[in-house]
Amino acid sequence: MAKQVVITGIGILSSIGKNLPETIESLLASRSGIGTLKHLNSPHQDEFPFAEVPYSNQDLLDIARLTDPSNYSRNTLLGMIAAGEAFQHARLDRLPRLKTGLISATTVGGMDRCELYFNDFLTNNSKNQYIDVYDCADSTERIANILNIRDYLTTISTACSSAANAILLGARMIRRGRLDRVVAGGTEALTSFHVNGFSALKILDKMPCRPFDANRNGITLGEGAAYLILESEEAAREGDREIFAELAGYGNACEAYHQTASTPDGKGALLAMERALNVSGLDPSAIDYINAHGTGTDNNDIAEGLAIERLFGEKIPFVSSTKPFTGHMTSAAGSAEAILSILCLTHRMILPNLNLKTPMPELHFTPVTELRKNTDVSLVMSNSFGFGGNNTSLIFRKSTD
């Protein structure tokens, strides 16, 4: 029989907070982290808004309490802080004999260091230490080193579904007895490469993103890191730790329709949600809330909206996108939004879809636009859809402890 997978720890760092308490405070105040760039020098900084973590790299070094002068990318620093919070939250230093893995997601990796020192690398005819941190796996290895995780390490890079796939893979390994517990999530820093690439695709909104709005015009890029501690229920009980939620279901579907666009009818999104429900054994009517991928692009929102309508019919649960809070954290979005979904369970709330003024005429439902407190929420679905048509849905169940 497959093992039950539960969540015993959470760590998050984004534009709305450097830790879990600050994040909760921002959510309850419906406070967005979208603003102007202050730490990344970009020719687009006055053209588009961004959801930047409001700390310099030196600030992040101080928060992480790192005194080692070794070079760290911003991506790695963000990941170290969030993963460290989750690790401490779950008290994973207890029972070190349990098999523990780290599955970390990222796409840009240490690109920020590469951008700063690439010209020097080309001219000094030697291997530059700053290029060493460029590899995506560098952040994974450094997080593992600081947390003393040795049993299993891997790095996931499937664009905007990356962190959700890290959670999915971690759950599968626990359910099959390969690991007892997994630190799973993602980290992503804003870089010039990041900003220039999305600008070239012409999908950055000059206003804060407006998911599911008739006048939406693109995404708002964000950055940050988020990690969850997944454990088998047996491991969690043995360590006498608090259980925040159960990962009840998960599903992935790679439609491979287009390099950067979803199928217009939402086929890939529909398959991912259906597969998550199949794993959970739940009927669609059991879902209380969907944290939608909801990027604010014309293509995503219509495709995802149509998929939701096809799956849920006339009984559509509460829906909202939380990207107007944190921006689109790309490879870290899946774990960040998984955490926000779990907070809806633990705090009995439905998060609002900020900035929505005019509902999409193509859809028959309207996302929630105001924070709903004191709302019974037992099951939530979190959607993360990436470039290449890599779509993942996760379902979390409220803990009965």
- Choose among 251, 281, 298: nearest CA to 397: 281
Which residue out of 194, 209, 328, 344 is catalytically annotated?
328
- DSSP helix/strand/coil, 322: coil
pLDDT in the model for residue 256: 73
Calculate the CA dihedral of residues 305, 310, 311, 313 and round it to 10 degrees.
Answer: 100
Do the Cβ atoms of 342 and 230 come closer than 8 Å? no
- DSSP helix/strand/coil, 153: strand
Residue 184, beta-bridge partner list: 103, 228
What DSSP designation does 217 have? -
Whether 347 is catalytic is no
pLDDT in the model for residue 125: 65
Backbone angles phi, psi at 31, to 5 degrees: -100, 120
CA distance 292 to 57: 31
Domains of the chain: 5-238 (3.40.47.10), 249-398 (3.40.47.10)
Whether 194 is catalytic is no
Do the Cβ atoms of 217 and 355 come closer than 8 Å? no
Whether 160 is catalytic is yes
Query: What are the helix (H) ranges across 51-108?
Result: 57-63, 74-89
Which residue out of 114, 136, 160, 209 is catalytically annotated?
160
CA distance 306 to 56: 41
- Choose among 230, 264, 273: nearest CA to 92: 230
pLDDT in the model for residue 2: 64
- Cβ neighbours for 250, distance < 8 A, ≥ 6 positions apart: 167, 168, 171, 172, 275, 276, 279, 392, 393, 394, 395
Backbone angles phi, psi at 342, to 5 degrees: -65, -35
Check residue 374 and give left, alpha or beta (phi > 0: left; psi -120 to 50: alpha): left
Do the Cβ atoms of 392 and 275 come closer than 8 Å? no
Do the Cβ atoms of 350 and 344 come closer than 8 Å? yes
- In order along its 401 residues, the chain shows pLDDT tens digits of 567 999 999 999 999 999 999 999 999 999 999 999 999 988 898 999 999 999 999 999 999 998 876 788 999 999 999 999 999 999 988 777 899 999 999 988 888 877 777 777 777 766 666 667 777 788 999 999 999 999 999 999 998 899 999 999 999 999 999 999 999 999 999 999 889 988 888 999 999 999 999 999 999 999 999 999 999 999 998 877 889 999 999 999 987 766 666 677 778 899 999 999 999 999 999 999 999 999 999 989 999 999 999 999 999 999 999 999 999 999 999 999 999 999 999 999 999 999 999 999 999 999 999 999 999 999 999 999 876 678 999 999 998 76
Q: Residue 313, Cα to own-chain centre: how many angstroms?
A: 27
Which residue out of 89, 136, 209, 293 is catalytically annotated?
293
Check residue 256 and give left, alpha or beta (phi > 0: left; psi -120 to 50: alpha): left
- Cβ neighbours for 352, distance < 8 A, ≥ 6 positions apart: 30, 320, 368, 369, 370, 371, 372
CA angle (258 as vertex; 52, 330 as ends), nearest 5: 15
- Strand arrangement, sheet containing 390-398: 152-156, 100-105, 181-188, 224-232, 5-13, 245-254, 390-398, 379-386, 289-291, 318-320
